[in-house]
Structure 1
Amino acid sequence: MPEVIFNGPAGRLEGRFQPAKSRSAPIALILHPHPQFGGTMNNQIVYQLFYMFAKREFAVLRFNFRGVGRSQGEFDHGSGELSDAAAALDWVQTIHPDARACWIAGFSFGAWIGMQLLMRRPEVEGFISIAPPANLNDFSFLAPCPSSGLIAHGDADKVVPVKDVQALVDKLKTQKGIVIDQTTISGANHFFENHVEELIGVCSDYVDRRLAAITDAA
């Protein structure tokens, strides 16, 4: 898992990258929680998602948004962070130009950034949004949502109430041509304390199902 430094819009960005063995392996980009509330690429959920995708032989990158860790720049309320995520995806695609597909996984603030990015990148074929902050950020840009994905949250989340996430899911499910899987983890708070293993299991099962469906269709 080499440390990497690549150029972003506001300076250098720090990341951790696991290359894939296959030239055509899919890419996974993992986005961390809110930088102003302690979010970094070393967040436990981000870390576990990284290894979950690496185990399935994706080319995987997690990185620190601007102003976090050794990444240059300063917090930009989402706009700059979206540009950082786009630059990160560009960087992985230069390393793996033959990648057949791309996935984006984000936690909390990272889920908001990730869902904005998938609107701009048609090569994204799947997403995982964990505790998307539907009450704190505007998700109206998902009109329509271009790819199928998983939304996971906890029923004891005091930061993002279940009803707000449910309203987002209900809106997305009305769109034709995509499938939104939803999992609500009983007893889990916003940070999934004591429930991280269960959460990663849900995400693993979802990715495995999607990959198996692609294989069956080939």
Structure 2
Amino acid sequence: MPEVIFPGPDGRLEGRYHPQKSKDAPIAIILHPHPLYGGTMNNKVVYNLHYTFHRIGFTCLRFNFRGVGRSQGEYDQGIGELSDAAAALDYLQALNPNARSCWVAGFSFGAWIGMQLLMRRPEIAGFVSVAPPANQYDFSFLAPCPSSGLIIGGSADRVVPPGDVANLADKLKQQKGITITHETIEGASHFFDPGMDEMIRTVETYVRRRLTETTR
């Protein structure tokens, strides 16, 4: 899988790009957890999400936010990181102008950034939000949430309590025109250790079903 360096708003960003042979393959970007707490694009959840989307048939890009790994810049309270994500999507779209759809997936802090990107980019057709930190960040910007998606967490998550994730999902479910699917992995911690295999199976089943529905 090629390592890529692409321009970001505050310097170069480091990523991993995994293309499909098909020129019209759907595209997905995967966003990592909090940079100040060890989050990188090589986090196990992010890595597994990346390969899951690729296995389904997506051309995928995951990358390090500013100040992480070889990405230039410094942590910017989520504001700059959202700009990084937008730059990553621009880069991915430029490489794949014929992609038939676009998705975003994020884990923890990356889920918060991914949902903000969703609001700014109407071309994003679906999302996977893993352990969105609804207890730490304000998600009220999702009014309305523009796309259907999957929100998933662990029942034993001590970082993001499952009740907060459920409340976020319930609020979004009340909105018309979209369908929010909420799944809880029994016994899974924040980092899905245990629970990784079941979480990934749940994501794969959901995304494959969505793709089948859109091609009918």
Q: TM-score range by the shorter chain?
A: over 0.9
What is aligned with 1:151? 151
State the alpha-carbon separation in 1 of the partners of residues 130 and 41 from structure 2: 15
What is aligned with 2:204? 204
SS at the partner of 1:184? strand
| Structure-1-length-normalised TM-score | 0.97
Q: Tell me if structure 2 keeps the 8 A contact 1:149–1:179.
A: yes
**Shift of the alpha carbon at 1:161?**
1.1
What is aligned with 2:137? 137
State the alpha-carbon separation in 1 of the partners of residues 119 and 211 from structure 2: 22
Q: What amino acid is aligned across from residue 195 of structure 1 in structure 2? A: G
Q: Deviations over 1:82-103 (max 9, x none)?
A: 0000000000011001112100
Which structure 1 segments of 5+ residues have no match? none
Q: Deviations over 1:31-64 (max 9, x none)?
A: 0000111100000111111111111221100000
SS at the partner of 2:61? strand
What is aligned with 1:109? 109
| Structure-2-length-normalised TM-score | 0.98
What is aligned with 1:167? 167
SS at the partner of 1:93? helix
What is aligned with 2:44? 44
Is 1:34 the equivalent of 2:62?
no
Q: Tell me if structure 1 keeps the 8 A contact 2:119–2:146.
A: yes
What is aligned with 2:190? 190
Q: What amino acid is aligned across from residue 192 of structure 2 in structure 1? A: F
State the alpha-carbon separation in 2 of the partners of residues 48 and 62 from structure 1: 11
SS at the partner of 1:172? helix
What is aligned with 1:124? 124
C-alpha RMSD of matched pairs (Å)? 0.7
Q: What amino acid is aligned across from residue 64 of structure 2 in structure 1? A: N
**Shift of the alpha carbon at 1:81?**
0.2
What is aligned with 2:68? 68
SS at the partner of 2:77? coil
**Shift of the alpha carbon at 1:195?**
1.0
State the alpha-carbon separation in 2 of the partners of residues 194 and 159 from structure 1: 15
State the alpha-carbon separation in 2 of the partners of residues 165 and 116 from structure 1: 16
Deviant stretches of 4+, over 4 Å? none
Which structure 2 segments of 5+ residues have no match? none
Q: Tell me if structure 1 keeps the 8 A contact 2:187–2:194.
A: no
Aligned residue pairs total: 216
